[in-house]
Amino acid sequence: MDVSGRKDLVENLVSGLISQEGHLNSIEDEGKASGKEMDSDATTEITRINTDTVRETTDTLTAVAQRETKIAKELESFSSIENKQVLCHILHPDTTEIDSSQIEKKEEAVEEETGLPVVRDPGIFASFIKIIDYEPEYDELGVKMYKETCKALNTAPVSKFIESLTKDAVVLKHHTVTARGIRAMAEALYQNQNVKILDLEEIMIDEMAAYFLGELLLENQNLVELNLSGCKLGSVGLEYLKVGISISRTMKKLNLSRNQLGDEGMVHLVEIISDNSSLKHLNLSHNDLGERSAQLLEEALEMNWSLEDLDLSWNSLYPRAGIMALMRGMSLNEGILKLDLSWNGLGMMHTGQALRNMLRKNKTLQMLNLSWNLMEALTVRLLRTGVLKSKSLQILKLAFNPIAPSDAIILCKTLLNPLTTLSELDLDGIWLNKDFLQAKPEVLGSFLGTFTFLYEALALEQGKLSLLKANILKLRDVKITVGGIYNNYKISVPDARKIHLARAKFEAQKPKKKKDRRDLGHFILKLGENPVLKTKFIKMIEDEKLKVEPELVQEIMNLFPDTKRAFVDVAAMKEYYLNLYPDTKPPEPKEKKEKKKKGKGKKGEEDKCYMISDMMTRLVGLRTEQWPWDAQSTAQVCEEEKRSNQCTGG
């Protein structure tokens, strides 16, 4: 309000007061003319009206003065036209367009009234006009929603989850969370913009919990990593999640290991892999994936080139049709950099053929893990051919496979090929023999650059320390891992012939009855020099009554074969046995017993003579000295008769 406006307002208020005062005076004069006086109530009312009018007038004037003073002070603190416009817009919000000339006129009016110049703002006001970002409160992160949902569902809230809502990762490994708890978490994470990683490892997720988790994935597009390892989803649980994962454009890492998906779950996984273009890391280990799963993966790998890391370890991908289909899909894929096929039983020859063809055609694979696969020698050689043809493979892991030292050396020599891209070879758990130390110095150099113990062993043995150092410096950086190097020990293998013959000798002497015991050496000495049919050899043992197990006899015959399969080299058997038991002697000849005559004097003649003499002595009652046939004489007579074979016992 300008000065003229304020003057008009004051004049109007004063004229109003004058008119009211004149009206009251006229009323009082009329009363006096009529001879009546005004009562006290009328006088009080007139006084109250006058007082109220004066108060209202005073308040209005005071408010106007305060407003004008405030405007003047604010104008004094502004230096630029823009700040003046902002302030005028604040004080006069109804004004859509502000003219700077009006502001200047108001400044001039203030200077005229106060007689003082308007103070210009040195920049204080502009320094205080700043936008301050306040930290979001818990309610904006979903904490309030989580607590209210837990209360409504009658479930206890997880304090660690509440604390994690302000961070970028929610890690609830090994927690006990029910389906209602998962629902409450999903409600809290719908609008949360902070959480990027959700780790629910080892939390049992049933069908209902999987449904709520799937709804969360449909609404929340901020998750980058999802870990559901060991949640036992099954194929039904994965079906609830597949739509949310498929449409996600932010998820980079997905862990579905140990979820018992099987071949039925792979049907849903194929849709996820085919539709999702942002997924980089996928872990499907420990899921009972078989031949059907490998065939389904072929189509998915041909369509998805964004996946970089695929873990298929601890499954059953060994059937021929399955591994062939999987390798065909890998041959056409140009996105996967790391492939883990460990613990899949890929040791057969057809596996080597499939891997060889895949490595020849694939252009992007950099790391291949084939550890713990029971790989045979032929499979390893086929794989080596593919490695030599590969244009991208850098790391090959073959740890803990039954690879012979000779095949391991062949793999090590692969690094010598200047065309190979391989820079790391993992043969952990595989031992090499001393033949490796006789290989080319280049291989030794690369080996010694990684293993100090081998470097020292070779230096001590060959005394070529300086030469080895020179070879190491010449080689490119190559890393080789092995289980170790066999020393110069000679491994002594027990002689099976000695073991079996000793066992047969023991069994021949084993029977309890003495008459059934036999000496194997006596049987061996009876053998001739010419080969014997196996059937005849068995018959000879039976005739000799040797109590030896038939299986043991069969093994002994196999240990002494002849040039002809049906014969036994008994001469070699006899020679070996006599060298093993040089004290073997032939059996002693049996003494021929004389035939005894039949009759009364056949046996016990001497005893009978003594008995008769004693009986006669007792009958007569005489002493032996007085009897002409005493015991001694009787014995002598009997002895003489015995010699002459004429004693009849009388």
DSSP 38-97: PPHHHHHHHHHHHHHHHHHHHHHHHHHHHHHHHHHHHHHT--SHHHHHHHHHHH-TT-SS
232 falls within a domain: no
* Res 183 pLDDT > 60: yes
Average pLDDT, the chain: 79
Q: 121 is in which domain, residue-wise? A: 3-128
Q: What's residue 412's pLDDT?
A: 82
Helix (H) or strand (E) holding 579: helix 570-580
| 192: in domain | no
Residue 495 structure tokens: 């002689």
Burial 560-583 (b: 16+ CB within 10 A, else e): bebeeeebbbbbebbebbeeeeee
Q: Is residue 179 part of a domain?
A: no
Q: Is residue 340 part of a domain?
A: no
Structure token pair of residue 8: 């008009």
Distance between CA 278 and CA 223 in Å, rounded?
12
Helix (H, G, I), strand (E, B) or coil at 133: coil
Is the pLDDT assigned to residue 17 strictly greater than 80?
no
Same domain, 572 and 504: yes
pLDDT tens-digit map of 211-258: 999 999 999 989 999 999 999 999 999 999 999 999 999 999 999 999
Cα separation of 226 and 228, whole Å? Answer: 6
Distance from C-alpha of 55 to C-alpha of 592, rounded to nearest angstrom: 168
The DSSP bridge pattern shows strands 532-533 and 567-568 to be antiparallel
Looking at the fold, whether 115 and 11 belong to one and the same domain comes out as: yes
State the total domains in the chain.
3
Q: 118 and 30, same structural domain?
A: yes
User: Residue 13's closest CA among 44, 55, 47?
Assistant: 55
User: How far is CA 161 from each of CA 140, 169, 175, 204, 439, rounded to the nearest angstrom?
Assistant: 15, 10, 11, 17, 60
Q: What is the pLDDT of residues 532-559, one digit of tens each?
A: 999 999 999 999 999 999 999 999 999 9
Q: Do 571 and 608 reside in the same domain of the chain?
A: no
Higher pLDDT, 467 or 92: 92
Instruction: Please give the structure tokens belonging to residue 2.
Output: 């300008």
* Residue 468 domain-assigned (yes or no): no
User: Range with the lowest mean pLDDT among 178-192, 327-341, 475-489?
Assistant: 475-489
Residue 456 has pLDDT above 60, yes or no: no
Identify whether the C-beta of residue 524 lies closer than 8 Å to the C-beta of residue 497: no
Supply the pTM of this predicted model. Answer: 0.56
Domain C-terminal end among 106, 128, 150:
128
> Per-residue confidence at 440, pLDDT binned at 50, 70, 90?
very low
Other Cβ atoms less than 10 A from the Cβ of 458: the count is: 19
54 in a domain, yes or no?
yes
